[in-house]
Amino acid sequence: MTKCIAFHSYKGGTGKTTLAANFAALLAKKGYRAFLLDLDVYAPSLQSYFDTEPKKWINDFLYDNAELKEVVLDFTPVIDRIAGSSTSNNLETKRKAKGGQLWVGFCNAKKEEIYKLEGGSPATSKQDTSKIHLLRRFILLRELLISEYHADYVIIDTSPGIRYWSINALAVADTLLLTLKMGDLDIAGTRKLAEEIYGSFTKFGTKSFLLWNRVAGYCIPHNVQDERMLYPMTSPGTTTTASDSKSKSSLLMERQQATETDMKKFLTDETGMEVISAIPCYCDIQFSRKEFLTVLEHPEHPFTKQFEGLIKAVETI
C-alpha cells in the first residue's frame, strides 16, 4: 500500500527540504519506488537542490498543460552514481534487484507562476483558474503516481505555515511529519499547528509526528573528542582502572542523550504529538557549502543512520 508523507513545518529554516530529499533517496536505495514532489509553491527549492531546470513543472500538470510523464523526472541514475562511488559494494545491482527508483517533480519558482497558483493573474489581478480545479488535478497527480507508477512512497515537501497549498498537501497525505528546531518560536508555532490544524486531519485517520531536526550537542570540540580524560567511577581514595573510566567525549554524549530524552518528552507534552525521530546537528553537514544526498554519499555517517531509523519507524506506521 502506498504511503503519502508530507514534510511540514510552522516556519521556514527547519531543514525540511533537506530531510525530505534524503529520506526519499534512501527509500529508493533500499528498494522502494519513491516520488518526491515539491509543493513548497511559495519558495520552491528542489530544482536548486538537484541542480536541474525541468522543461515541465508540477504547475504545468495542474493547469492541464503537461502529462505526468513530463513532470516527474527519473533521478534513479543519480542514486546509482553517488551510492556506487561511496562504497565498493555493487549497490546499483542490489537496488535494481529490489526495484528501487527515485522520481522528482519540481515546482516553478517564477513569481508569476506562484501568483497563478494562488488563483490570480498578474496582468488582470483576477481569478484565472478555479482553486478547486487545481486541487482536483493535484489529487489526480497523486492517484496516477499510485496507479500508473506503482509508487511505494509519495513524499511531499510542503510550504511552511498555514497557507492554501500547505493545507492541500496535508489533506492528501496519510502521514504528517512536522519538522521543528528547538526554540521558543518553533515550539509555540508547532503547538498552534497541532491544536488548530493537525487535529482536523488526525481525527479522520491521518497519522502525525514531530521530526526534531538539528538537535544540538553533537559537535564535540576536537580537543575533547580525541582526548581520553579519565573520569573516576569509584569512591575517593580507591584505584581507578580503565574499565572504571570513560573518555570525556563519551561522558558528554551520554549527558546529551539523557537531555535529548527529556526534551522529547517535553515536546510531546507541549504539542500532544510523538517525536518520531531526532536528527542531530552535525557540523560537517550544517556548515557545508552544499549538502546533497548525504545518506548516499556517506552511508556510514551518523546522519544516515538516523534516517535508517526514521525509515524503520515509518514502515511500521
- pLDDT the model gives residue 254: 58
Query: What is the model's pLDDT at position 309?
Result: 97
Distance CA 293, CA 152 (A): 20
Q: What per-residue confidence (pLDDT) applies to 176? A: 97
C-alpha cell at 217: 550537542
* pLDDT attached to residue 232: 44
pLDDT for 70: 97
pLDDT at 98: 66
Strands 275-280 and 33-39: unpaired
Longest C-alpha distance within the chain, in Å?
Answer: 85
Query: Which stretch of DSSP H or E encloses residue 217?
Result: none
Q: Is the CB of residue 7 less than 8 Å from the CB of residue 16?
A: yes
**Which H/E stretch holds residue 119?**
none
Helical residues (DSSP H) of the chain, grouped into ranges: 16-29, 46-49, 58-62, 68-71, 76-86, 91-98, 111-117, 131-147, 164-172, 184-193, 199-202, 222-225, 248-271, 283-286, 294-297, 302-315
Q: Are 222 and 210 in contact (CB under 8 A)?
A: no
Looking only at the bridges linking them, the beta strands covering 101-105 and 72-74 are: antiparallel
Which amino acid would we find at residue 281? C
Residue 42 near residue 114 (C-beta atoms within 8 A): yes
pLDDT value, residue 128: 53
Q: Which helix (H) or strand (E) holds 238?
A: none
Q: Cα(28)–Cα(79) distance, rounded to whole angstroms?
A: 8
> Who contacts 185 (Cβ-Cβ below 8 Å, separation ≥6)?
11
Contact 5, 158 (CB under 8 A): no
Taking only the tens of pLDDT, the chain with its 317 residues reads: 899 999 999 998 899 999 999 999 999 999 999 999 999 999 999 999 999 999 999 999 999 999 999 999 999 999 999 877 665 455 555 555 567 999 999 999 999 998 888 765 544 445 556 888 899 999 999 999 999 999 999 999 999 998 999 999 999 999 999 999 888 888 899 998 988 899 889 989 999 999 999 887 666 544 444 444 333 444 455 554 544 445 554 554 555 565 778 889 989 998 899 999 999 988 888 778 889 999 999 999 999 999 999 999 999 99
Question: Which string of DSSP letters, residue by residue, matches 240-304?
Answer: P-GGG---HHHHHHHHHHHHHHHHHHHHHHHHS--EEEEEE--HHHHT-S----HHHH-TTSHHH
